[in-house]
Amino acid sequence: MPAHEMAVEIEGLTKSFGSVHALRGLDLTVPTGQVTGFLGPNGSGKSTTIRILLGLLRADGGRTTVLGGDPWTDAVRLHRSIAYVPGDVSLWPNLTGGEAIDILARLSGPLDPARRTLMLERFELDPTKKARTYSKGNRQKVALVAALASEAELLVLDEPTSGLDPLMEAAFTESILEVKAAGRSVLLSSHIFAEVERLADRVTIIREGATVEAGTIAELRHLTRSQVTVGLDGGADGLSALPGVHDLQVLDGHVSFAVDEVELPAVLAAVARLQPRSIVANPPSLEELFLRHYGDELAAVNGTDR
């Protein structure tokens, strides 16, 4: 069992490139044995954070601990226990995918040949092709197979599925769950919310280099409202008056409204008494959480657009 309670602990991390402040006091924790989702739009500082965690960039300020060590000074020791999948995977063009997998995996530690074979099958990757001929998705598979076939304690995955097709995303989900079951830790950066929602125990959302939200998925859900759509033959009498119901709209026999999380059971009970044809109550997805955080930014963009 690893000795550290937290695989990654970051507090107040700052990093500038010239006059550009990429990170402005970012906080992030990855508890040991858990999958932590790391969300943010392109350019918000996810990759910069990850590259600091790997000792590829030097932090300007803040405290960063990875597996109990300093990512910059203890890099070599730490890297024996870390597997990394970059967001944009470069490979050696004239080596085959299979060669690249072996090299990448063994650079940090031993390689489990059985898992390598299993992962190659699962991700349907032909290891005899030259990396030059691989698409972005296939290059990503190479890095994923290498990371998953290693025995690393911490997996750092930077947007690992951005080029994969959905069947591969299923294979990815399965593999990450196995990693988690083995007690290993995963930091998963993404902008595919469904993926994080499915896999992550905790989520950290960042924006412009600073953490804006962090917690378990359930904790974050409490922060917002469920959207309910009910198919009704009769009227929606009284629904709008119930506590916690907002923005009620009636359209062609469908009633839709938003409900505060705490009032949801009472409201649903009231709806059931109206004999509905259908009820859909969607818990807020991370996408909505995300839009809530970046909504003003999007509004600004759309304002110039339309």
Partner 1 sequence: MDPLGGGRAIGDAPPTGPAVVAESLTRTFGPVTALSQLTVEMPHGVVGLVGANGAGKSTLIKILLGLLPPTSGRAQVLGLDCATEGLAIRQVVGYMPESDCLPPDVSATELVVHLARMSGLPSAVARERTADTLRHVGLYEERYRPIGGYSTGMKQRVKLAQAIVHDPRLVLLDEPTNGLDPAGRDEMLGLIQRISTDFAISVVVTSHLLGELERISDHLVVIEDGVLQRSTSTADATQLSGVVLVEVTDGVAELAALLRAAGAQVADDGGAHTFTVELAGEWVLDAIQDGAADLGVGLVRMQRRRHHLTEIFRPEQEGAHARH
Partner 2 sequence: MTAVAIGTGRAVRPPVADSLAGLGPMLRLVLRRNRVRLVVWWVVLAGLFAYVGTYYTSLFTTQAALNDFAALSNTPSIKALTGLAATPNTLGGAVWTKIWMTCALSLAFGVVFLVTRSGRADEEVGRTELLRSRMLGRHAYSVASWLVDAALCVAVGAGIAVASAAVGLDPAGTGVVGSLVVGASVTGVGLMALGVGAVANQVAGTSRGANALGSAVIGAFYVLRMVGDLGDGRLTWVSPVGWAQEMQPWGANRWWPLVLLVVLAAVLLAAAARLEARRDLGAGLLPERPGPAGAPVRYASPLGLALRLQRGPVIGWSATIVLTALLFGSVVQSMTTLLSDAGSTATAIIGGTSVNALLAMLGMIIAMITTVFALQSAASLRGDEASGILEPQLAGAVSRTSWALQRLLIPVVGAAVLLLVGGAGIGVSYGAAVHDAGQAGRLALAALAYWPAVMVLVGVAVALFGWVPRLAVPLTWGVLSAMWFVVLIGDALHLPAWLLNVLPFSATPHLPLARLTWTPLVVLVLVAAGLVWTGLDRFARRDVQPG
H/E stretch holding 46: helix 46-53
Least CB distance from residue 138 to partner 2, whole Å? Answer: 13
Q: What are 26's two structure tokens?
A: 């970012």
25 contributes a contact to partner 1 by CB under 8 A: no
- Dihedrals phi, psi of 23, to nearest 5 degrees: -125, 135
Q: Which residues in 68-127 contact partner 1 (CB under 8 A)?
A: 124
- Among partner 2, partner 1, none, partner that 132 touches (CB below 5 to 8 angstroms by kind): partner 2
Cβ atoms < 10 Å from Cβ of 150? 27
Distance CA 13, CA 10 (A): 7
Distance CA 222, CA 225 (A): 8
SS3 of 206, please? strand
Residue 191: name the closest of 156, 160, 155 by CA. Answer: 160
Distance CA 306, CA 304 (A): 6
- The binder of partner 1 chosen from 164, 176, 187, 196 (CB under 8 A): 164
* Stretch of residues binding partner 1 (CB under 8 A), selected from 57-65, 75-83, 103-111, 266-274: 266-274
- The binder of partner 2 chosen from 108, 161, 189, 211 (CB under 8 A): 108
- Among partner 2, partner 1, none, partner that 71 touches (CB below 5 to 8 angstroms by kind): none
- Among partner 1, partner 2, none, partner that 212 touches (CB below 5 to 8 angstroms by kind): none
Q: Which residues in 279-298 contact partner 1 (CB under 8 A)?
A: 279-282, 287, 290, 294, 298
User: Residues, the chain, total?
Assistant: 306
- The binder of partner 2 chosen from 103, 264, 266, 291 (CB under 8 A): 103
Total of chain residues touching partner 1, rule CB under 8 A: 40
- Dihedrals phi, psi of 12, to nearest 5 degrees: 60, 40
Least CB distance from residue 186 to partner 1, whole Å? Answer: 21
DSSP state string for 249-299: EEETTEEEEEEEGGGHHHHHHHHHTT--SEEEEEPPPHHHHHHHHHHHHHH
Q: Which residues in 139-198 contact partner 2 (CB under 8 A)?
A: 143
202 contributes a contact to partner 2 by CB under 8 A: no
27 HSE (CA, 13 A, CB side): 6
- Among partner 1, partner 2, none, partner that 280 touches (CB below 5 to 8 angstroms by kind): partner 1
Report the interface residues with partner 1, using CB under 8 A: 41-43, 124, 135-138, 141, 162-168, 170, 191-193, 264-265, 268-269, 272, 275-282, 287, 290, 294, 298, 301, 304-305
Report the interface residues with partner 2, using CB under 8 A: 51, 54-58, 75-77, 79-80, 82, 84, 86, 88-96, 98-104, 106-109, 126-130, 132-133, 143
